[in-house]
Structure 1
């Protein structure tokens, strides 16, 4: 079980959909135009969150050079000798930087990953890898920019929920950012096609940049897997467990997985955004009433890590389910 997500039992998984509907694409630059245009974009974002739990964004303000630099830094890290990377290996889910692979046997290497905290950058960067030499600068630039985008999107979603864009503003500003940097090999004969098992992320929003195709999401309408076709210079956004809690179920988390690409190896960089480590997330009081009673218990990222640590062998009950109130 991953420390940024919760896995989904096999029997709950959808089928494959060979003809999925198109994915919403949001032009973020329109959020800064006149109030009427902003209101339409806010409505589009909220609808995508409510109906699907995912969308892509363009015109987000992150330069191609910053995105390319982060991919290069990630690629160079994963090309380092094993002994160099394994200096960051740990089973402690609370380590500020942690390297691992999806297999302990040294053979089925369908995913390697490096996870580290990124906000505030001045506090966490000292723990990041010093090799490759470009890693700290390039990944730091990307982390700062992608967090800015996450905060803009959160404001729009909170506005769309009727809470106002400044709702719990300080908690979001001071919140946690976890970077999950992943490397998936090119699919070859004998490989397992799944690079990362179906799961949902714990936080409010995950913003993902991927170097090529390989991400799939569950389309709720058809209960089938939908291939994410990355647009040039676009970022993928999906809703996490704590967004479902905050919205009291108005917005649902999205289940997703990674599959190996038969044409090339793939780098993905996910920015997972939440409240600070010990800050509890609860259902917004404004969204609780007699018709829509409170559905979830409050929890923090620290509670999530405690849950994972104590449920390593329990694959059939996920963190979000553990928060549901009886009868909800």
Structure 2
């Protein structure tokens, strides 16, 4: 059904890695779950649901295969992303904005006049559900961007809904507990581009600082290694291996809230790849813009009191206006009832 990826060192002594060196971190032991069993017999489904629940409970992260997004769709999205970031800077800056509520927003972690900074990435983010409402706001250049990214966005959302059904089932809430509220939900596509540094520095160079996602669930398609997760068991950074054909799945803050802390959102960061540029495409799924996520009443009792206040995607944006990502501020920590 699934297989762990065993720990090894890269960038130092020990087993060599087939991937470019991006970090001195140990490689994470991450479940790789075959989710085709969710669509088979009741027994097979229950086994996969248990696997997913165990992964959410341990580190809030896993990878999935047999998710029904074809290789051509994934490659098409990555190629469209690469083509966008190869455009002249003037073309990309058409979408630049400091307004976090803009449905399409381009930005960079680079500071003006600095060629190399600790936080180094470029990104474009855009709303993606319902697709027909937002796709005309997306970049029209390169010409196939909307088509290729739209195909991936639609299919990634379907994978997310299937996983959310399994996750709420694993909590004993039933498969439709959350998905019945998702028809008007938010989906944000965040496309991150980490250029190869001109002057590589030893060890890890952070492109995206440590954070957890506000979402219920985040599904990520990477083109190369560079994602590190914070292992809750020993508080160390672990490099996530790239598994061919797999998607990476993050538990987000709102799922931690829903589960009343049974599942934890995963703290992660993006690392610069010293040998090549790196691209990741993230599909973040949450409830509607102003709909608040609360802990499930079924998971609250005398021994497990309510641990979080309710919050919405809009609340998260307000939080960002006053707190800089990666500077020690955490959205989910701000929601915890002390």
**TM-score normalised by length of structure 2:** 0.88
Match of 1:85 among 84, 92, 101: 92
Partners of 2:208 and 2:325 in 1: CA distance: 17
SS at structure 2 position matched to 1:173: coil
Task: Indicate conservation of the 8 Å contact 1:203/1:240, yes or no.
Answer: yes
**Is the CA contact (8 Å cut-off) linking 1:279 and 1:301 kept in structure 2?**
yes
1:130 aligned to which of 134, 140, 154: 140
Q: Which residue of 2 aligns with 1:154?
A: 164
> 164, 168, 175: which one pairs with 2:174?
164
Report the CA distance between 1:190 and its aligned residue.
Answer: 4.8
Residue in structure 1 matched with residue 30 of structure 2 by the alignment: 23
Match 1:286 to one of 298, 304, 308 = 298
Q: Does 1:69 align with 2:76?
A: yes
Bigger shift: residues 205-214 or 169-178? 169-178
The question of whether the paired residues in 2 share the 8 Å contact of 1:240 and 1:254 is answered with yes
Aligned to 1:259: 271
Query: 1:43-122 residue pairs with structure 2 within 5 A?
Result: 43-106=50-113, 107-108=115-116, 110-122=120-132
Equivalent positions of 1:305-324 (< 5 A) are 305-312=317-324, 315-324=327-336
Q: Which runs of 5+ in 2 are unaligned?
A: 1-22
Larger deviation, residues 179-188 vs 100-109: 100-109
Cα shift at 1:319: 1.6
Across the two proteins, how many residue pairs are aligned to each other? 311
Shift of 1:264: 1.2
Structure 1 equivalent of residue 208 of structure 2: 196
Q: In angstroms, what is the RMSD of aligned CA positions?
A: 1.7
Distance apart, 1:322 and its partner CA: 1.4
SS across alignment from 1:297: coil
Q: Select which of 24, 33, 39 maps to 2:46.
A: 39
Q: 1:322 to 1:134 in 2, by over 3 A?
A: same
TM-score by length of 1: 0.91
Q: What runs of 5+ residues in structure 1 fail to find an aligned partner? A: 1-15
Which residue of the partner structure matches residue 207 of structure 1? 219
Q: Which moved more, 1:257-266 or 1:126-135?
A: 257-266
Shift of 1:21: 5.2
Q: In structure 1, the residue corresponding to 2:62 is in which secondary structure?
A: strand
Cα deviation, residue 108, structure 1 = 3.1
Shift, 1:221, TM fit: 1.4
The equivalent residue for 1:232 is: 244
Distance 2:39 2:327 in 1: 44
Asked whether the equivalents of residues 27 and 241 of structure 2 are also in contact (C-alpha less than 8 Å), the reply is: no
